[in-house]
Structure 1
């Protein structure tokens, strides 16, 4: 039984110059990078999730573009698992569940983007599949959303989704707390 770091959709289109820039993407990636370094140091499993757009009207993560590539700050090392997905839920139509089961993984440490979409969908699915989940909230990023003509700021979107995941889906922790817990 083991922990596994799941890095979700930390891809170039979410950063400055990308087609779907997120608020605080650099901060989130820096914290994800710290988690990744700690998992590598402790020789713990890591899975990189890469979203490739399959919808005909998609505007980001388009196949075979620089924007769809995993960001250099958290790029996979040789031998690290990369799971390609086409939906917000990283388990849907992928090998992720089989990979985790084969490696006797019981706890997932999740980070990445977007808090309100793929982090939410993947965490809820993981919980429903029986995994214990920890979301590194300061290693996640999102964007402003508009609802009924009102703009909801990214920080509020992020906070609302972290609050919603906190019970019962996941423990919501800061990167530093997770790293200290690994010591």
Structure 2
């Protein structure tokens, strides 16, 4: 199996058109997630799916017992792949993700999914802080425009800013083609 795992964060129905919190570029990002998954599976690498469910039925998305919190078919787990449910942006917070990785002797963590500015950011930083060699496949991640102080920041700039910050000190940031070659 090796010592690398691909962690697929929150590729869930609510982020897709028709969902409660649609992301810009989610179709393209999820297509790249599919390529990453196919390559990882062919290499015999560990695949772990993260599924965010807010405990409050009044949450803006990923509500309990909803179709929106289900993993999207483009990233569907295969038999034997672990699915970890989380309630916070950081996939390690109050989950057994670290224990699962440690039990398998994982040293390298590859992160894909959504949202670049929130759960990807929090998960990547935690992964690095725990000592894992961490990689983000940037074009297999998606986000949406953000507003602050009356300024709307387009999704492409939100994504680029997050990837630049992660590349500065927390992770190798690559694209799908680079992952497929390596």
Q: For the superposition of Structure 1 and Structure 2, which TM-score range results when normalised by the shorter chain?
A: over 0.9
> 1:157 is paired with a residue of what secondary structure?
helix
Say whether residues 1:123 and 2:114 are aligned partners.
no
Gaps of 5+ in 1: none
| Structure 1 position 143, deviation (Å) | 0.3
How many Å separate the matches in 2 of 1:56 and 1:72?
Answer: 23
> 2:136 is paired with a residue of what secondary structure?
strand
Q: Which residue of 2 aligns with 1:43?
A: 44
Contact 2:50/2:83 (8 A) holds in 1: yes
**Per-residue displacement from partner, 1:24-55 (whole Å, max 9, x unpaired)?**
00000000000001111111100000000124
Q: Which residue of 2 aligns with 1:77?
A: 78
Number of residue pairs aligned between Structure 1 and Structure 2: 181
Q: Which residue of 2 aligns with 1:170?
A: 171
Backbone CA RMSD of aligned residues: 0.9
**Per-residue displacement from partner, 1:114-137 (whole Å, max 9, x unpaired)?**
000000000000100000100000
TM-score, normalising length: structure 1: 0.97
Q: Which residue of 1 aligns with 2:62?
A: 61
How many Å separate the matches in 2 of 1:89 and 1:135?
Answer: 15
How many Å separate the matches in 1 of 2:57 and 2:122?
Answer: 22
How many Å separate the matches in 1 of 2:131 and 2:140?
Answer: 23
How many Å separate the matches in 1 of 2:56 and 2:147?
Answer: 22
